[in-house]
Structures are given as C-alpha cells and as structure tokens.
Structure 1
Amino acid sequence: MPSLKDIRIRINSVKTTRQVTSAMKMVSAAKFKKAQDDISYIRPYVDRLAGMLYKLSGSLEEDFELEWSKERTAHKILLVPVSSNRGLCGAFNTNVVKEVEKLCKVDFKLQNKAGNVDILTIGKQGQKILKQRHYNVVKDHNDLYTHISFEKVIDVAHELMEAFLAGKYDRIILVYNEYKNAAVQIIRSEQFLPMELPSKEDIEQTATDYIIEPDVPTFITKVIPDALKTMFYRVILESLASEHGARMTSMHKATDNATDMLGELQLQYNKARQGAITKEILEIVGGAEALKK
C-alpha cells in the first residue's frame, strides 16, 4: 500500500490537474459560444446561395462549359484536412486523420501508390500525425487560426482554386468536422473542386423565382468564385465550432474524472491514516504491557 506521503502527493497533483481542466473548459465554452453564433449566421446564407446556384445550373444549355465544374480524369489529387493547432479535444483530430487515411487507401488507392496524392494541412495536429505516418504533406496553412478572418481564409481558397484552374490538381477534397452540437461532430470529406452541379434531370423543371440579369450563364460565371470562397469559409467555421465543442466536452469529462479520482484517493488516504493510527496505538499498548511484565 502507498505511504501517506505518496497519497498526499497524488491528491495535490490531481487537484492541480482538475484546476487546469476546469479552466480550459470555461475558456473553450466562451470561444464555443462565439463560434456557434458564427455558424448560425453563415449556414442559412451559404445554403441559400448553393441552392440558388444548383437550381440555376439546371437551366444552362448542355454545351455551356463552366471551368469550375469541368470534370477531369482523377490523376492528381489534393486532400485538405482541417484539424486544430492544439490538442486535448478528444477524437477531433484523430477522426480527420482516419478519414484522410481512408481516402488514401481506399478511394484514391491507385493515385496514392503512384505518389499523386498531395496533402495541404490546416492545423498543426493533423500535420504532425500525417507526417509521422509518412504521407505526402506538401504545404500547410496552420497560421490560419491566428486571428482568423474572412480575408485570410479566402486567400487560401483562392490558392486552391488557382491550383485547380492551372491543372495542377484534378480533384480537391476537404476533410473536416461538421458541427452538430457540443458533444457530436460529424466527419465530412467533401469535394471542393470541381464543383458538383446537378444536371437538368436532377432538378425539377419548375418556373424559377429568380430574375437574373443580364443572363444566367454570365451570372453563374461571376458568382461561383465568390460562392466557393464563402463555402470554404463555412468549412473553417464548422471545424472551429466543432473543435471548441469537442475540447469543452473533453475537459468537462476530464474534470469529472479528476473529481472521482480525488474521492477515491481521499478514501484511500483516510484508510491508510486510520491504519497508521491503529498501528501506533497497538505499538503503545504493546510497549506498556511489556513494561508491566
């Protein structure tokens, strides 16, 4: 059985850990509230924008070719995993890495064997794990989380779009955690480029409620680049809200576990202390009896 001193050291250590996890939970809760508000503001806008573009694309002539949705043979692939710069957020980063590995080993197995799958990471944790596992991480934008802003995010989106237009990559896939609630995040692998637009058969041929000037092709050609950047910004906000929610939940569980451990250690300490007192009493009684004889 551990000595009283050892148990006291463990109790103090667990108390310190509980203070840290409790403070981290409160910090994450404050950040989570702001990220949650950001998501609630941008989701309706992006959903309506995407719905409008998808509906209008169904009215395009068949010979109209949009550079952002041009299908090419999937020879060169770029994966963009969005993780976090810091840990202590449960399975948040692990799930992103697992999805990237699935894409490399299953969906793009042949391209990966040929060395045609590149990875651009957003988040130090994902970058660290993927490099340790010897994946082809060609670049990172981990500084994106430092004073995050729409301008910084769309610069990265513009870089991805330029790489696609230049023919450097035939597919660009985003891997991220979609926010559902504080305790639940849904892992997504979403094709960013080429943009998947529905065919006429996929859209009900009903009268549209949009008045477009000068015409639909010109409007779509002008709007899609900005729409892609906004959609990419939403992905970053989804991941950010998921990260804070995951860390808040993880730190809450860690705090509860530390509280339970403290109770067990305190009980163990009391038992050891009682045993030590009983032993001392027996020694005193034994010594007194020996003196009488």
Structure 2
Amino acid sequence: MASLKEVRNRIVSVNSTQQITKAMKMVAAAKLRRAQDNIMQMRPYAQKLGEMLTTVSSGAESAVDSPLKTVRPIEKVLIVVVTSDRGLCGAFNTNIVKATLLLIEQKYAAQAARGNVEIFAIGKKGAESLAKRGFVVNKNYMDLFGRLNFVAVKQAAEEIMKAFSDGQYDAVDLVYNEFKNVATQIIHTDRFLPITAEDKTTRTKTAEVNYIFEPTEEEILAELIPKSLKIQLYRSVLESNASEQGARMTAMDKATENAQELLKELKLVYNRTRQAAITTEILEIVGGAEALKN
C-alpha cells in the first residue's frame, strides 16, 4: 500500500491537472463560439457561390476552357490535409490522418507506390504525422491557423491552383473535418481539382434559372471558378477550426470528469491508509503500555 505522503502528492497532482483541464475547456468554449459564428456566416455565402458556379458553368461549359477544369490521367496527386496545430483534442487529428491514409490506399495506391502522392499540410499535427510516414509534405502553410484569415487561405489556394494549372499535379483532394456540433465532427474527402460537371452537380442541385449575363458567361466563369475554389478552401479551414475547438472542449470536459473520479478514489485510499496508520500507532502504544506494566 502507498504511503500517506505518496497518496497526498498524487491528490495534489490530480487537483492541479483538473484545474488545467477546466481552464482549457473554458478557453476552448470561448474560441468555439467565435469559430462557430464565423462558419455559420460563411456557409450560406459558400453554398450560394457554389450554386451560382453550377448554374453558370452548366450553360457555358462547352465554351469555356479553364486550366482548372482540365481532366488528365492521374499520375501525380496532391492531398490537402487540414488538421490542428496542437493536440489535447481527442482523436481529432488521428482521424484525419487515418482518413488520408485510407484515401491513398483506396484511390491512389499505384501513385503512392511510385512516390507520386504529396501532402499539402494545413496544421502542424498532420504535417508531422504524415512526414514520419515518409510522404513528401509541403509545409509552406503548415502554421496557417496562427494567422487564420481569408488573405492567408487565398494565397494557399492560389499556390495549389497554379501547381495544378502548370501540370505539377493531375488531381487535388481535400481532407478536413466538418463541424456539426460540439461532440460530432464529420470527415470529408472532397475532390478539389479538377472541377468537373459531375462534381458540381453532385454537390448542389439547383433549380433552372435564366440569368442575364453582363459581361459574358465566359468572363464571369473565368472569374468565378478561382473565387469559388478559394472560398471552398477557406470554408474547409473554418470548419476544421470550429471542429477542433469542439473536440478540445469535449476532450477537456471528459478529462475533468475523469480527474474528479480519480480524486474520489485517491481520497478513499488516503482515508483508508490514514486510518490504518492511526490503528497501527494505537496498537504500538497499547503494546508498549502493556510491556511497561509487565
């Protein structure tokens, strides 16, 4: 049985840990409210922009030749992986890494065997984990969450689009967590590039609308496609940010509860140990008194 001092030290240690997890839960809750507001404001805009792109491109698809719509045999693949910069958020990052590995295994096993699968990391945890597994990782925007704004995400999207247009990659996929609620995050593995008619129609089903275009459909579409991709990436990053804070809040809440349960057990052990020590001391005193009497 542990000594009283050891049990007391463990109680102090667990108490300190519980205070830290409570504080982290409160911080995550505050960040979650801001992140949730941001994503709720972004979703309607992103959805409407997607609908507009679908409607316009369906009529102009044969006339508009955009390098971002070029379908090539898939030889080189880029996977944009959105994770977090820090841990202590449960299985949030692990699930994204697993989903990425599963995507590679199911769709790009042949390309991976030739070393033609690269990772574009947004978030340090995914970059570190996938780099350890031997993948080539682009870390230019690994710390994007430290400067999260549309300008930074826009630059990342432009770099990805330029690499695809230049033929460096034949397909670009996006892996991220979509925020549903505090306890639930939905993993998405979406095709980012090239833009195809199938991708657009499966994402959004819109009613037929007759638009008057000024300037031409082609000019509008040439402007709309890059903007839509930038907004899509920005929304994915915001979704991941909100999901991260929700996952961290849930993890810290569970850790606080576990610490409370452990404290109950330790206090019970402490009381039993203390009672046993007192009983031993009493027996020693009684034994000593009897020896003196005899």
1:160 aligns with 2:148: no
Query: For residues 266 and 247 of structure 2, what CA distance do their matches in structure 1 show?
Result: 28
**Residue 117 (structure 2) aligns with:** 117
List per-residue Cα deviations over 1:171-220 (Å, max 9, x = no partner). 11111111111111111111111123349998989641533223322211
1:286 aligns with 2:287: yes
Alignment of 1:127-206 (within 5 A): 127-198=127-198
Q: TM-score, normalised by structure 1?
A: 0.94
Contact 1:54 1:198 in 2 (8 A): no
**Residue 24 (structure 2) aligns with:** 24
Query: For residues 234 and 22 of structure 1, what CA distance do their matches in structure 2 show?
Result: 30
| Shift of residue 138, structure 1, vs aligned partner | 3.8
The AA in structure 2 aligned to 1:226 is: K
Query: For residues 159 and 286 of structure 1, what CA distance do their matches in structure 2 show?
Result: 84
| C-alpha distance 199-217 of structure 1, shift in aligned 2 (>3 A) | farther
Contact 2:28 2:248 in 1 (8 A): yes
Identity in percent: 48
| Shift of residue 289, structure 1, vs aligned partner | 1.8
Contact 1:83 1:122 in 2 (8 A): yes
Query: For residues 201 and 92 of structure 1, what CA distance do their matches in structure 2 show?
Result: 30
**Residue 257 (structure 2) aligns with:** 256
Query: For residues 134 and 231 of structure 2, what CA distance do their matches in structure 1 show?
Result: 32
| Shift of residue 69, structure 1, vs aligned partner | 1.7
Query: For residues 199 and 90 of structure 2, what CA distance do their matches in structure 1 show?
Result: 41
Between the two proteins, the alignment pairs up a number of residues equal to: 293
Query: For residues 256 and 199 of structure 1, what CA distance do their matches in structure 2 show?
Result: 44
Contact 1:144 1:152 in 2 (8 A): yes
Unmatched 5+ stretches in structure 1:
none
| C-alpha distance 285-205 of structure 1, shift in aligned 2 (>3 A) | closer
The AA in structure 2 aligned to 1:34 is: R
Contact 1:29 1:244 in 2 (8 A): yes
Instruction: Report the 3-state secondary structure (helix = DSSP H, G, I; strand = E; otherwise coil) of the residue aligned with 1:178.
Output: strand
**Residue 62 (structure 1) aligns with:** 62
| C-alpha distance 184-110 of structure 1, shift in aligned 2 (>3 A) | same
| Shift of residue 67, structure 1, vs aligned partner | 2.5
**Residue 11 (structure 1) aligns with:** 11
List per-residue Cα deviations over 1:9-47 (Å, max 9, x = no partner). 100110111111111111111111000000000001101
Contact 1:75 1:111 in 2 (8 A): yes
| Shift of residue 57, structure 1, vs aligned partner | 2.1
List per-residue Cα deviations over 1:143-183 (Å, max 9, x = no partner). 21123111111000000010011111111111111111111
1:102 aligns with 2:102: yes
Contact 1:35 1:240 in 2 (8 A): yes
Q: Which is further off, 156-165 or 127-136?
A: 127-136
Query: For residues 291 and 51 of structure 2, what CA distance do their matches in structure 1 show?
Result: 94
The AA in structure 2 aligned to 1:136 is: V
Query: For residues 288 and 24 of structure 1, what CA distance do their matches in structure 2 show?
Result: 56
The AA in structure 1 aligned to 2:50 is: A
Query: For residues 205 and 152 of structure 1, what CA distance do their matches in structure 2 show?
Result: 31
Instruction: Report the 3-state secondary structure (helix = DSSP H, G, I; strand = E; otherwise coil) of the residue aligned with 1:79.
Output: strand
Contact 1:58 1:198 in 2 (8 A): no
| Shift of residue 231, structure 1, vs aligned partner | 1.1
Instruction: Report the 3-state secondary structure (helix = DSSP H, G, I; strand = E; otherwise coil) of the residue aligned with 1:59.
Output: helix
Query: For residues 142 and 194 of structure 1, what CA distance do their matches in structure 2 show?
Result: 23
Q: TM-score, normalised by structure 2?
A: 0.94
**Residue 71 (structure 2) aligns with:** 71
Unmatched 5+ stretches in structure 2:
none
Q: CA RMSD in A?
A: 2.0
The AA in structure 2 aligned to 1:166 is: D
Contact 1:58 1:200 in 2 (8 A): no
